Structure 1
Amino acid sequence: MRVLLFTGKGGVGKTTVAAATAVRASRAGHRTLVMSTDPAHSLADSFDLPVGSEATEVGPNLWAEQIDAQERLESHWREIQDYFVALMNWAGVETIQAEELSVIPGLDEIFSLIDVKRHVDGGRYDVLVVDCAPTAETLRLLSLPEVMNWYMERIFPVERRVVKGVRPLVTRITSLPIANDRFFGAVERLHRNLEAVRRILTDSRSSTVRLVVNPERMVIAEARRTYTYLSLFGYRVDAVVVNRLLPDTVTDPYFGQWKEIQAEHLAAVRESFEPVPILTARLFDREMVGLELLERMGEEVYGDLDPVRVLYRDEPIRVRKRGQAYVLALRLPFVAREDTDVHRRGEELVVRVGSYKRTLILPQMLRRLDVQRAAFDGDDLEIVFAREPRPADTAEAGGRRAADG
């Protein structure tokens, strides 16, 4: 299944572009589902049709879905929530308050991710278009599987063994609720689902992200940061859509300055993101609502391009051999050198860019080598791994040089 994720700063028109892409794909004969992970659902408004929490047919070869957060909560979080509620009840918190407090902000978006896996596994559709939340929420969401991986591999097994060991003693001396196997099993299932989603969304053969921007300075700056962080976590961007450009037919002098500013910003987008394809859509003279207008929007954005095709391929993370060393290259465009930190921790490589951190589990061939240096080469952060010369090796090499002399 082809998976397309659309994100951008709030208000740039990403839902409209996502819906238009879905309409365009369906018109090409692809069975297409467009779903929203944005808590502020607006897909139904975009289609001007009712859209439910399960796939709702909105046109030929076209279905739409808006996630019902409460419904997904009951399905995926109930066993975990029950334990947290019991724990807070024990601490004196009333049940209603405990139930509210036990729902972590952003859970609805997390469960939306799991819906991606459900649809991919189901195989009913050819194309899945995901209208994501605004960029900050999307980045937090897409980084979650990586963060949870670290917890599940490092902390969770120890935590489970400790709880199992102390449970008999604790239950004898206190009424404090202790997490049981159902709780730990639910956490494991959540982790497995999120890890499966991560594999789906980082598969460059089928999944890509498309950034939607307006020709405005702040919007472009946020898109650049988003592109960097997506690259950090291994997600591929295959197009940038510049939406709401004033058309040439607008000749009123009042808009003259705006058109010049937009032209400058469009040039900045091209300079920043190319060779990633830059797609454009003009500012229409009406709201692009309903199937007919969304089809026009899709034609405007894609022209003769197939919207389902992967429009650009890039590898955010690459490993190659250079002489006797190996180089791990991370593509991190737009990063200030002082905002980057890299350090080795056993078999892990920790890369921090701004406020985001990624922990990479090193491939087997790199684990036995030492980090020699890390430096930027253009947009690539290159980390060089090689075996540090041992004292005996150094002495032997020195002896050979002396003998040669």
Structure 2
Amino acid sequence: MRTLLITGPGGSGRTTVAAATAHAAARAGVRTLLLGTDRTDTLGAVLGAPVGLEPSEAAPRLTVRRLDADEDFRTDLAALQDRASSALDLLGASRLDPEELTPLPGAGELALLRALRDAALPGTHDLLVVDLPPVPRALDLLALPEELRRYLRRLLPPERQAARALRPVLGRLAGVPLPAEWLYETAARLDLQLAAAETVLADRGTAVRLVAEPGPAGADAVRTATLGLALRGLRTDVLVATRVLPEGAGDSWLAGPVAQQRKALAEWRETHDVRPVAHLGRDPRGADDLAALAVPGADAGPSAAEGPSAVEWPVTDSLADDGVLVWHIPLPGARREELDLIRRGDELVVTAGPFRRTVPLPSALRRCTVDGAALREGELRIRFRPDPRLWPRTG
């Protein structure tokens, strides 16, 4: 199944583009699921009909629904209380009633990851279109599966479960209680769920589609979003430029905005596959307006057969010439003064602008020391020199 994750700066028309994309796919005969993530019904305002928490048919072959983060949060917390009942009783803790619970920050993101995982299962749809939150929240969400899995591995290393039978004995010898069995089981179950969501994001059929209005603010947002996606190893398929004014309007008071848009579009075309969407002169509402937008189809941009959605970070061998290995990390839009690198054991912490990612080093680079780095043409090149103490001797 193909998955389109649509995001952009707030107010750019990303919800409208998501709805129009799903409508176009359904009209072309593709069984489509359109998923809204806003707590308020912004999708319903665009579609011209309310979108509820239960799936409903908005048009032939088009199913729509909104996430219910509240219910997911109540279900998860109730299940956690049941599994930890003995510990709660020992502490004299009072159980929380599901009816008194309100979602904590982050509950919506977890609900969306679960929806992505469930929608990817074989079923009745061929295309999933997700109206993601605005760019900053969307990038945090896309980073969540990898980061949570890394935290779980650090806090509860899977290899420690091998001593499962010895935990009661070790606990008595050490004089302190060791993590209970249910904690490891919960961590393992959560890790599997996060891994499933991570697989969907890295799948060849998954693409992130950016939506922005051409202009200074839109240009800044696109640069930031492209950098954040690249650091996460994701790439966009197309950049949808919304509310593009007609060139003929340049003779009126719109001459300034038209020139501004023309400049932004020219700059975007140097680095993105740009698909302009004309301004209708009104806020789109209903199927006819969505069709009139003529948004790019779900199959726009590189096809799934052309390679994975993840951006490759290759290591090149320059040992014979320079005595180093070079790790190439594409970071389009990065600025030298906003970059920072920290090595921690077998991991590298990369900071680019407002984004940070901790990545494991490829196996060959773990036996090397960092010899320097340079940013050239939107690519960070990190040099690694073999450590004589760890590198196997030859000859």
**TM range, smaller chain:** 0.7 to 0.9
CA distance in 1, matches of 2:390, 2:211: 55
In the alignment, which residue of structure 2 is the partner of 1:240?
Answer: 239
1:169-248 equivalences under 5 Å are 181-182=181-182, 184-203=184-203, 205-248=204-247
1:351 touches 1:357 (CA, 8 Å); kept in 2? yes
Q: Deviations over 1:245-264 (max 9, x none)?
A: 11235466222222222222
2:317 corresponds to which of 318, 322, 327: 322
Q: CA deviation at 1:363?
A: 2.7
Q: CA deviation at 1:239?
A: 1.0
Return closer, same or farther for 1:384/1:315 CA change in 2, 3 Å cut-off: farther
1:81 touches 1:99 (CA, 8 Å); kept in 2? no
Say whether 1:277 aligns with 2:288: no
Q: Deviations over 1:38-66 (max 9, x none)?
A: 33441122211232323321111111121
1:5-404 equivalences under 5 Å are 5-80=5-80, 103-157=103-157, 181-182=181-182, 184-203=184-203, 205-250=204-249, 253-271=252-270, 274=271, 276-297=272-293, 299=294, 301-302=295-296, 306-311=297-302, 316-324=311-319, 325-389=324-388
Helix, strand or coil for the counterpart of 2:240?
A: strand
Return closer, same or farther for 1:317/1:76 CA change in 2, 3 Å cut-off: farther
CA distance in 1, matches of 2:97, 2:75: 19
Whichever residue aligns with residue 200 of structure 2, its letter is I
Q: CA deviation at 1:167?
A: 12
Q: Deviations over 1:126-166 (max 9, x none)?
A: 1111100011111111111121121111112399999x769
Return closer, same or farther for 1:391/1:68 CA change in 2, 3 Å cut-off: closer
Return closer, same or farther for 1:251/1:344 CA change in 2, 3 Å cut-off: closer
CA distance in 2, matches of 1:372, 1:389: 14
Return closer, same or farther for 1:84/1:138 CA change in 2, 3 Å cut-off: farther
CA RMSD of aligned residues (A): 3.7
Whichever residue aligns with residue 157 of structure 1, its letter is P
Return closer, same or farther for 1:217/1:393 CA change in 2, 3 Å cut-off: same
2:46 touches 2:285 (CA, 8 Å); kept in 1? yes
Q: CA deviation at 1:315?
A: 5.5
Helix, strand or coil for the counterpart of 2:313?
A: strand
Unaligned runs of 5+ in 1: 398-405
2:346 touches 2:360 (CA, 8 Å); kept in 1? yes
Q: Deviations over 1:157-180 (max 9, x none)?
A: 399999x769988xx99xxxx985
Whichever residue aligns with residue 299 of structure 2, its letter is V
Q: CA deviation at 1:354?
A: 2.8
Q: CA deviation at 1:7?
A: 0.5
Q: Deviations over 1:87-133 (max 9, x none)?
A: 7xx799995899658x4302112211111110111332111111000
Return closer, same or farther for 1:96/1:373 CA change in 2, 3 Å cut-off: same
CA distance in 2, matches of 1:217, 1:91: 58
Helix, strand or coil for the counterpart of 1:318?
A: coil
Tell me the TM-score normalized by structure 1: 0.81
Return closer, same or farther for 1:179/1:250 CA change in 2, 3 Å cut-off: farther
Q: CA deviation at 1:242?
A: 0.8
1:319 touches 1:326 (CA, 8 Å); kept in 2? no
CA distance in 1, matches of 2:135, 2:387: 42
Helix, strand or coil for the counterpart of 2:53?
A: coil
CA distance in 1, matches of 2:217, 2:23: 29
2:84 touches 2:182 (CA, 8 Å); kept in 1? no
In the alignment, which residue of structure 2 is the partner of 1:401?
Answer: none
Whichever residue aligns with residue 288 of structure 1, its letter is P
CA distance in 2, matches of 1:14, 1:392: 50
Tell me the TM-score normalized by structure 2: 0.83
1:208 touches 1:237 (CA, 8 Å); kept in 2? yes
Q: Tell which deviates more after alignment, 286-295 or 382-391.
A: 382-391
Q: Tell which deviates more after alignment, 254-263 or 311-320.
A: 311-320
